[in-house]
Structure 1
Amino acid sequence: MTDYHQELAEIMANNKNIFNSTGEVGKAFLNVHDAAIEEGVLDSKTKALEALGIAIAIRCEGCIIQHVKGAIKLGATRDEIVETINIAIMMGGGPSTVYGGKALACADQFLDE
């Protein structure tokens, strides 16, 4: 079984390294992220769940881990994550069932904290 806490720690260390190394490009990406996720017509939790659904559909495991953690931090429930996975499956087909399963296993670990 994957230890998603360990995976997240590795991703965060890699992110720190890349963003410290890429100068203005890294800062610009982080600014885009912050601007996109901030409250607007849609609340931040909804936006985090959207990002999770996209991460599942495009099969980015690191993105899935980060967006599961972010969505939970913003108050997402397991049921909301499952519904997000359902939409990702609709949009991404069979591969999204594999990555959706990873997202759910990740959520179950983080929700058990």
Structure 2
Amino acid sequence: MIKLSKIERDILKYIYTASNSTISNFSLFKKMKLDIPVLFTSLKLLEKTGFISYDSEQIILLPEGIKYIATNTISEKHSEKKWNVIPDYFLTDKENTTEFYIPSRKLLSKKTFNV
């Protein structure tokens, strides 16, 4: 199995979602916002693996590249972030909104109760 970097997987994704699985070099360059040497190094690697074919004007996704995308599902899902997980000791039972509650006197506005 061929291991591709994130940049190379993104390139395949952009080409696959383009019309007729072809995209111009300039359009890909603008979408990816990469340095030109990094972009062309990645394109050369993808061409060497047989996933794409490119010339001075456009990049074409080959059937081998489509098969790679289909079998390795290039997804947008990311693993769950550590900072996004709420610790169990912060989780409580859901409050019942139909019951009465006694508000804190400190939090009430003093202007409301001026008599």
Higher relative contact order (CA 8 A, sep 6+): 1
TM-score between the two structures when normalised by the length of structure 2:
0.30
TM-score between the two structures when normalised by the length of structure 1:
0.30
Higher strand share: 2
Q: Of the two, which has the highest radius of gyration?
A: 2
